[in-house]
Amino acid sequence: MKTGLEYMESLRKRNIKVYVKGQLLKSQEVIDHPFIRGHVNSAAMTYELAHDPVAEDLVTATSHLTGKKINRFTHIHQSKEDLIKKVKMLRMISQRTGTCYQRCVGFDALNAVYCTTYEMDQKLGTGYHERIKKYVEYIQENDIMVAGAMTDPKGDRSLRPGQQADPDMFVHVVERNDKGIVVRGAKAHMTGMVNSHEMLIMPTMSMVAEDKDYAVSCAIPVDAPGVLHIFGRQTNDDRKCEGEIDQGNAQFGIVGGECLTVLENVFVPWEKVFMCGETDFAGMMVGRFASYHRQNYGGCKGGVSDIVIGAAAVMADYSGYGKATHIKDKINEMIHLTETLYACSIACSSEGKQTASGSYFVDPLLANVGKHNVTRLIYDIDRIAQDIGGGLTATLPSESDLRNPEIGKYVEKYFKGVATVPTEDRMRIARLLENMTGGTALVESMHGAGSPQAQKIMYSKLSNLEHKKRAAMALAGIKLKEAE
């Protein structure tokens, strides 16, 4: 297992193409760019904590393939306990970083592809499962960070992949030969891609026979020939080039460092291909991945919300109203909402079941309900935090003003709260609140792991409404017909 430092050094060995604000970065300097450095630091925490005696029970596991001790982010779930430990691990790391550490998407992709390929092979006689087992072993042995790559640009949402005016709106196979395949297209909103080692491509939706070329899953190094990454903007990201205070969470940054990953005729050898044209199983792979990923949100957002609650409480204390009854009530409401999110993630893990492959899968109904809660309750948590924080969190002058020899005394004087608390400390907690409760962080809570409508579709299918109707009719004394 790599340490955090070894992870960082391994990234410097890549020959990756990353563009930031129109400029191509030098490959070895990508992880040092101010826009990217915090995301690297947060991902490094997933490596470092595996060597921490206090955290290792959650952050490590035993490989079912080799029997070796491995980082849990490379593990294939073997029990309900594994599913529960995953959620507890995510909350714990979020409490350490206050942000996304990007490794979950690849973790979930590995598990989704693993159990789907087994069932695909059983029905179709393909040999994909042995390939993914070998790939997982490689990932575990080298402690590789994998970026899960599902979301396509999609183009015209009213049209299927094969109907698009531009076929590249969905990743697709453009060539097959005896050595492998060639893929083309792009993957959007790619969390942690620029500081990963490999990407695991998956289809983004259910497919029909006409979409055969788009039903593809494969693994590609992030620096493979034909791959380039265009780094996305984030709220207030230029502050990362300025002082530490104005960044809020200077060490770990905001959310996950997303990018657009472009695939220009990229070759993939057959041993790294896990689906190629099997349209009947595209929906299963998408559903498995989505549920695994939605499982996470009560854990990671629970941990992030713990920090938001703490920051709001500190801001109230620094401002002199921490003991007010209405502030205590608001903080209690934030705690209630946070634990509600966490409870759903623990529940869907506890109700998990073994798949045909032997690995364990979450309860998809509860996983989708949990993520849908996040799209609502995080907004309530952050709204209350902003209420407690006050207008100061949005109107503070800059750190440069505080340091300025002429006007710094005025910033120091007029932004002071409680006399015993340094103005700089009050500014720091205000900026952290601003950073964590606005802009990019909220959008990610809404659309990460799928937009709200996607969860509604899933839990409407899984909730067994007909059973509920029959139960109500029986209690009402309505005799059911045989057909019902």
pLDDT category of residue 300 using cuts at 50, 70 and 90 = very high
Q: Please, are residues 380 and 307 in contact by the beta-carbon 8 Å criterion? A: no
Residue 483 pLDDT more than 80? Answer: no
CA distance 183 to 226: 10
Residue 147 pLDDT more than 60? Answer: yes
What pLDDT score does 482 carry? 61
Residue 467 pLDDT more than 70? Answer: yes
Instruction: Report the interhelical angle of 452-462 vs 282-295 (nearest 10°).
Output: 110
Residue 484 pLDDT more than 80? Answer: no
Q: Report pLDDT digits (tens) over 260-297.
A: 999 999 999 999 999 999 999 999 999 999 999 999 99
Domain boundaries along the sequence of the chain? 292-474
What pLDDT score does 464 carry? 92
What pLDDT score does 441 carry? 85
Residue given tokens 């490379």 in the structure block: 74
What is the residue-averaged pLDDT of the chain?
Answer: 96
Tell which residue, 233, 235, 225, has the closest CA to residue 264.
Answer: 225
Average of per-residue pLDDT across 295-315: 97
CA distance 413 to 401: 12
Residue 166 pLDDT more than 60? Answer: yes
The question of whether 100 is a catalytic residue gets the answer yes
CA distance 43 to 68: 22
Residue 481 pLDDT more than 80? Answer: no
DSSP state of 143: T
The question of whether 444 is a catalytic residue gets the answer yes
Q: Which CATH architecture has domain 292-474?
A: Up-down Bundle (1.20)
Q: Active-site residue among 47, 104, 115, 118?
A: 104
Stated as kind and residue range, the H or E segment containing 261 is: strand 259-269
Q: Please, are residues 399 and 408 in contact by the beta-carbon 8 Å criterion? A: no
pLDDT category of residue 429 using cuts at 50, 70 and 90 = very high
Alpha-carbon separation of residue 468 from 199, 456, 465, 475 (angstroms): 42, 17, 5, 11
Q: Active-site residue among 297, 318, 342, 360?
A: 297
Residue 434 pLDDT more than 90? Answer: yes
Q: Active-site residue among 191, 261, 437, 440?
A: 191
Beta-sheet strands, E only, within 307-449: 353-354, 360-361
The question of whether 300 is a catalytic residue gets the answer yes
CA distance 170 to 52: 41
Average of per-residue pLDDT across 352-370: 97
The question of whether 412 is a catalytic residue gets the answer no
The pairs formed by 422-429 with CB atoms below 8 angstroms and a separation of 24 or more are 424/245, 425/318, 426/315, 426/318, 426/319, 427/245, 427/396, 427/399, 427/402, 428/245, 429/311, 429/314, 429/315, 429/318
Residue 335 pLDDT more than 90? Answer: yes
Average of per-residue pLDDT across 158-180: 97
Compute the Cα dihedral for 237, 242, 246, 251 and give only its sign: positive
Strand partners, 221: 198
The question of whether 437 is a catalytic residue gets the answer no
User: What global pTM score does this model have?
Assistant: 0.95
Residue 415 pLDDT more than 70? Answer: yes
Burial of residue 112 (CB within 10 Å: 0-12, 13-18, 19+) is: buried
CA distance 284 to 355: 12
Compute the Cα dihedral for 19, 23, 25, 31 and give only its sign: negative
Q: What phi and psi values does residue 61 have, to the nearest 5 degrees?
A: -150, 175
Residue given tokens 């502050």 in the structure block: 239
Q: Coil, strand or helix: which one is 87?
A: helix
Q: Which of 154-168, 179-193, 296-310, 449-463 has the lowest mean pLDDT?
A: 449-463
Alpha-carbon separation of residue 84 from 79, 87, 103, 140 (angstroms): 9, 5, 17, 20
Spell out the residues 6+ positions from residue 127 whose beta carbon is closer than 8 angstroms to its own.
Answer: 121
Task: Locate 233 and state its tokens.
Answer: 């903007």
CA distance 51 to 71: 9
The question of whether 325 is a catalytic residue gets the answer no
Q: Active-site residue among 101, 293, 338, 342?
A: 293
Tell which residue, 469, 327, 303, 304, has the closest CA to residue 388.
Answer: 327
Residue spans of alpha helices (H) in 13-103? 34-48, 56-59, 80-97
Compute the Cα dihedral for 418, 419, 423, 424 and give only its sign: negative
The question of whether 348 is a catalytic residue gets the answer no
Q: Report pLDDT digits (tens) over 1-49.
A: 999 999 999 999 999 999 999 999 999 999 999 999 999 999 999 999 9
CA distance 315 to 309: 10
Beta-sheet strands, E only, within 282-418: 353-354, 360-361
Strand partners, 181: 176, 268
pLDDT category of residue 442 using cuts at 50, 70 and 90 = confident
Tell me what percent of the residues of the chain surpass a pLDDT of 90: 93
Q: Which of 340-344, 389-393, 431-435, 448-452 has the lowest mean pLDDT?
A: 448-452
355 annotated to a ligand binding site: no
Q: Active-site residue among 97, 100, 117, 276?
A: 100
Q: Residues 100, 303, 390, CA angle at the centre, nearest 5°? A: 95
Spell out the residues 6+ positions from residue 399 whose beta carbon is closer than 8 angstroms to its own.
Answer: 242, 243, 244, 245, 246, 427
Average of per-residue pLDDT across 195-202: 98
Average of per-residue pLDDT across 322-329: 98
